[in-house]
Structure 1
Amino acid sequence: MTSDLTEFLADHRATEGIEEFCAEAAALLGPQEVVRDATALEKASCDWAHMSPILSAKLPAGRAEVVLRPTSHQQIPGLLALAHRHRIPVTPRGKGTGNYGQAIPLRDGAVLDLTGCGRVLDAGDGWIRAEAGAKMSDLEAHARTLGQELWMFPSTFGTTIGGFLSGGSGGTGSLVHRTNGDGFVQELTVVPCTADAEPFTVRGADALPYIHAYGTSGITATATVRLQRARDWSGLFAAFDDWRPATAALSDLVRLEPAPRLASLDEAGLVRAFQPDPALDPAALSLRAIVEAGAAGTARAIISRHGGRVLEVRPAPEGPALVSSLSFNHPTYHLMKAEDGWFHLEIGGDVLLGDPAEIRKIFPGTLLHLEGMRSGTVGMLMARYEDEQTVYDGIAALEVLGVGVHSPHNWYVDRRVDLVRSAARAADPRGLLNPGKLPAP
């Protein structure tokens, strides 16, 4: 891809004003933080959208012309004021672990790499404040020194807080707390792309237009999110031979008190794609949970009552870390790494707890990954890819069965779209923030 990018840069007509913009950005950041070499531009023009065979055929649709690397959230306003004046598109980026192309610059211009803005700024009882580029693992570690822990964190634990809020949705802790838009965020400092780029603060429900908005309604500079009392967690690993008793056990684990931090179920075809581990039986369904150490005995009894086998209860940090690393979309990653030719869908509904035979009639060879939630079962469906139309015909058929489907095969904002559009009109009057990601009315 590097040679292709080099040719692109040689042949492509540069965004008007990009040279003047880069020179002024270098005066603000220092020349070393305004990067234009082909390797850096290649990396900044991609994320994990190649997980989708539909998106990988269409992206990247644009290429970064410059990567800006601020080292403090206080430098962001100056950069966005410059972008506004020179009319340069700006695409924000964290660690680039998103799967939907949200960090890919569809209209070229500048990629704003926020990983250098990585400080934990402050913390107190029930809250922690950090720059957008701070890793979730650093927030959790800091909270632990205070006897607290994050409400939730993504399965890719090295993700930045800004990336998780701007492009993510749920993760470890969602079993009780649902998504990152359901009370996790206490406060955001947002920078608009306007003439003065004056940062503003939003709190509580007023933060919703900036969550899962891909930066189209303003760039998150700092975030304050919720903490809870730290607990002593263990990872519980069980094996089942049949789907119905496994899902029954999953449902009971979800209702366990104190509540688990996460509970996942995978079919054997997925387990075989994971790295071998004594806690995983590649010939059986794998039911895993992060449970409070004192509740491990009750969790064991649930597994036994439904005919399962507890393979291991592994203490922290290894046990919970392994359970979390195999949650949400990570089974998809492991399967696709092991074998080509798969696609995935985000699915939901308690109908998934029943016999999956009807689902397999729609997508033969389906493999299912479930996440137990008190708000309702969610998960991932993985099946062999034929063509784009077959995928969308199958989605319609799944919905007839009562399976809720969210397609991950798009790069545009699809949550709270009206709220995001309203906020973007004020924060980005020239449409320069991650252009192409916010659908037109």
Structure 2
Amino acid sequence: MDDLAQRLRTALGDDAVSVDPGVRRTASTDWAHMSPVLTARLPAGLADVVAFPADPGQLARAVALAHDAGVPVTPRGKGTGNYGQAIPLRDGLVVDLTRARRVLDVGAGWVTAEAGTPFVTLEAAARATGQELAMFPSTVGSTLGGFLAGGAGGTGSIENGWLWSGFVTALDVVPCTGAEELVHLAGPDTGPLLHAYGTSGVIATATVRLRPRRDWTALFASFDRWTDAVAAGLALMASLAPVPRLVSVDEPGIVAALPADPGIPRGRTSLRAIVDTGVLTAARQAVTAAGGVVEEVRAGGAGLLTSLSFNHATHRVQKTRPGLAHLQVGAPALVERADEVRALLPGALLHLDGLGGPDGPEFVGLLLTRYTGEEALRGAMDALRGIGVHVSDPHTWELAEPLDDVRRAAARYDPAGLLNPGKLPAAVPARPVG
């Protein structure tokens, strides 16, 4: 490791390499502590050395040096992931990409940038050209590469779906083969690198979709009944054109943990939406038709609504009510069979965000339930699946199936298995027939 650290200093510069214990600890953590299951297993690994490449060329050089030394490599953005994606389970080298943050080019319908570019920078570059990002994570300071490697959807997903639904058009990827090179991938070939935690190659640059810039406004509404708020949210997503950029619904138990705001009255179910100003009248009508009250329409409030969506709700509730664990849930059964969901998990709290899919818009959500142990939590997941609710396990750092394409890409671009080891589970051999 000492030899690798020195070679990295020679290649990248003294200020781009650190073996300081504090830097190593910071580079070896993310938001996995939101999970009581993962918290019990942390710390799981500690980087031996941290490198900060300033551009794709330096990134390729760092990965090649680590390969030659037989040292594991864990790529890292801002560390805002929730599942231990950036934790180096086998120690070794953590490559922090936050210094590789240039927007390289903006064209009609696309932007190309280095992996460490924050989404706030990408959105500003797009809006300067009369465009905006088709999608971005709820943590807008997250990096492009980190989101593509560890995320799934976010603000803009009602209209544009998941990140592998055409959001990414091209990638430049660093393989871990000893070759100091960038591999260009386009179209469907980018798929095995998305939400793969860097196990199938390290993203150096990415080209993602833009849409025409719109004039977004924050709409705050409240309801007596959760079912009415859900109906209003579905109506907003299905009837407005352009489609809202975000729709979130929170029941009173979650509202109590949100920041005090006149648009989010305590004791009521809250619906919040980012809508185009041109359809505000129609949005108001959808709310009142479902029995709701429009509390406020606020220009410039879109940032606040983004910061209250997806797993930000989990974080806020856990701060005020320790001892809760979250489950990531979806499918129409989540709202159509809500009474059964609540019966399975008495006292659970539910946060919803809108998502567009092949069958039209629907809600995905977060169920926050009292944590009484991992076995009980796994049982709750199985029970929810039994009534048709889709459950994504947020309490593991292993990637979830199907992974055949990821494994094929990893075999090509990481034959020695040095990229973020411990995150890509081995394929289970098929049983022989007969």
Q: 1:416 to 1:126 in 2, by over 3 A?
A: farther
Structure 2 CA distance for aligned equivalents of residues 259 and 203 of structure 1:
28
Does residue 268 of structure 1 match 2:252?
A: yes
1:366 corresponds to which residue? 348
1:426 corresponds to which residue? 412
Q: 1:415 to 1:211 in 2, by over 3 A?
A: farther
Matches for 1:4-403 after TM superposition, within 5 Å: 18-255=1-238, 256-316=240-300, 319-354=301-336, 356-375=338-357, 376-403=362-389
* SS across alignment from 1:107: coil
Given that 1:248 and 1:353 are in contact with CA atoms closer than 8 Å, whether structure 2 keeps it comes out as: no
* SS across alignment from 2:355: coil
Structure 1 CA distance for aligned equivalents of residues 145 and 366 of structure 2:
24
1:439 corresponds to which residue? 425
String of CA shifts for 1:400-420, please: whole Å, max 9, x gaps.
Answer: 222111111110122541111
Instruction: For 2:71, give the aligned amino acid.
Output: I
Structure 2: any 5+ residue segments left out of the alignment?
428-434
Instruction: For 1:296, give the aligned amino acid.
Output: L
Given that 1:209 and 1:416 are in contact with CA atoms closer than 8 Å, whether structure 2 keeps it comes out as: no
Given that 1:245 and 1:306 are in contact with CA atoms closer than 8 Å, whether structure 2 keeps it comes out as: yes
Deviation at 1:325, TM superposition (A): 1.0
Structure 1 CA distance for aligned equivalents of residues 418 and 308 of structure 2:
36
Deviation at 1:372, TM superposition (A): 2.1
Given that 1:133 and 1:161 are in contact with CA atoms closer than 8 Å, whether structure 2 keeps it comes out as: yes
Q: 1:135 to 1:348 in 2, by over 3 A?
A: same
* SS across alignment from 1:372: strand
Structure 1 CA distance for aligned equivalents of residues 177 and 333 of structure 2:
47
String of CA shifts for 1:230-270, please: whole Å, max 9, x gaps.
Answer: 00000101001112111111110111222111111011111
Give the TM-score of the pair, scaled to structure 1. 0.94
Deviation at 1:323, TM superposition (A): 1.2
Given that 1:175 and 1:261 are in contact with CA atoms closer than 8 Å, whether structure 2 keeps it comes out as: yes
String of CA shifts for 1:37-63, please: whole Å, max 9, x gaps.
Answer: 111111111100000000111122111
Structure 1: any 5+ residue segments left out of the alignment?
1-17
Instruction: For 2:28, give the aligned amino acid.
Output: S
Structure 1 CA distance for aligned equivalents of residues 298 and 335 of structure 2:
26
Deviation at 1:314, TM superposition (A): 0.6
Deviation at 1:396, TM superposition (A): 1.1
Runs ≥4 residues deviating over 4 A: none
Give the TM-score of the pair, scaled to structure 2. 0.96
Structure 1 CA distance for aligned equivalents of residues 388 and 30 of structure 2:
32
Given that 2:157 and 2:354 are in contact with CA atoms closer than 8 Å, whether structure 1 keeps it comes out as: no
Structure 2 CA distance for aligned equivalents of residues 355 and 426 of structure 1:
44
